[in-house]
Amino acid sequence: MSRTRFILSVLLFALIATLIVPPVKAQSTTTLLYRGSAGRTGVYDLPAVPTLTGLAWKSSVGEAGFSSPIYAAGSVFIGTNRGELKAFDAATGDQQWNFSKAGGNASPPAYADGVVYAGLGIVEGRMGLYALDARTGDQLWLFATDSPIWLSAPLIHDGAAIFGDQNGVLYSVDLISHKERWRADKRGAVLWFAAAEGDSIYFTAGSILYALDAASGDERWNVRLSSDWMPLAVADGTVYAGDARNSLHALDAATGEEVWTFKDRVTSRGSWSAPTINDGVVYAGNRTGFFYAFNAKTGEQMWKFDAQAPATSDAVLANGILYFGVGAHGSTSADQTKAYFYALDAATGAEVWKFEADGEIFNGPAISEDQIYFVTAANDLYALR
């Protein structure tokens, strides 16, 4: 065989192999966070429940705590005040598994590629960030911390889990090696979740709001208040967060400079929900019982809804409708009387529907294609459709 014929034969076989063997597909990545996006804007591209049919199911979680539910892969995941993490079938409400080895408390969880992440525990050696198999509840690994993780729902960002503890430390932990990438040690407990936009991470520690470089953890700027910060969200170059008094703030995400501040004249003290941000509008409720809509650029009030009870549980938005319950934000001492879960028209603030639950709703809801999930102070997990 001539050299030319040999080369042509090799090329022909190579061409046939490319036609027979399918190309390797890139591995898909599915990440589902508390409040939807890395910016924690609370917005979902889902139909949700524009018309309330009724209760799909109700299940006891045992002892509801600081954890809000998330929905992923056909399951609802939620932590308890006993340091448990539980999974419920989203269609039936049946409990699928219960991880109970940590004890103590539980943060709201996060989900990424078949793994559920949550801060659990209050005992040294058993507290930290847990990674569990979402299907079975088996522990995959633990990154131990020196202090409990409470409301700091893990932020999954650029291959890392980012979360804070009560000693004032924000961690970035690599999801492959399970090793620490960096830590930012600040004064003041990191009570709330972190958010991300671009190459920056934003979080609060007590009365100080920080912006960090996402890759290194180096500080870019900080803003101090005379009271503690409430949960934040970031969108389109602006960070939004309320304080523990009466104000909602908008800060330039690049510099920390004030863009606008709204002061609620009804009260001199009152915490805020995490802001929900969509299409140039910021939505937030406070302890006075009012839920507001503001122009995101100017802070001009667009409408106000009277929920007649503390509106500090974090709202979500889907298909033009806002969903939230009323109760004390992150407080398990809330009055266990009946309370409403609301659906409002995001454009006008008009009530679309409301549902009466058996206890105050102190944490934010989770959402799926056709159902919405929330937990009450009476320790019940609801699914509405």
* DSSP result, 278-330: ETTEEEEEBTTSEEEEEETTT--EEEEEE-SS-B-SPPEEETTEEEEE-B-TT
Low-confidence ranges of the chain (pLDDT < 50): 1-28, 330-335
CATH classification of the domain holding 366? 2.130.10.10
Pair 20, 55: CB distance under 8 Å: no
Task: Measure CA 191 to chain center.
Answer: 13
Residue 14 forms part of a structural domain: no
Amino acid at 134: A
pLDDT of residue 105: 87
Q: Which residues make Cβ contacts (< 8 Å) with residue 249, sequence separation at least 6?
A: 240, 241, 242, 243, 258, 260, 261
Q: Is residue 7 part of a domain?
A: no
Instruction: Please check whether residue 20 lies inside any domain of the structure.
Output: no
- pTM of structure: 0.90
Domain contains 2: no
Q: Is residue 19, in this structure, part of any structural domain at all?
A: no
What is each CA distance from 307 to 51, 181, 337, in whole angstroms?
19, 43, 15
If one counts the domains in the chain, the total is: 1
pLDDT at 103: 85
Q: Give the other-Cβ count within 10 Å of 308's Cβ.
A: 11
Tell whether 149 is covered by a domain. yes
pLDDT at site 325 = 96
**pLDDT score recorded for residue 264:** 87
**Cα 114 to Cα 107: distance, rounded to the nearest angstrom:** 18
Containing domain of residue 50, as a range?
Answer: 27-384
Domain presence at residue 18: no
Task: Indicate whether 182 belongs to any domain.
Answer: yes
Residue 262: CB atoms within 10 A of its CB come to 19
CA 78/CA 383 separation, integer angstroms: 13
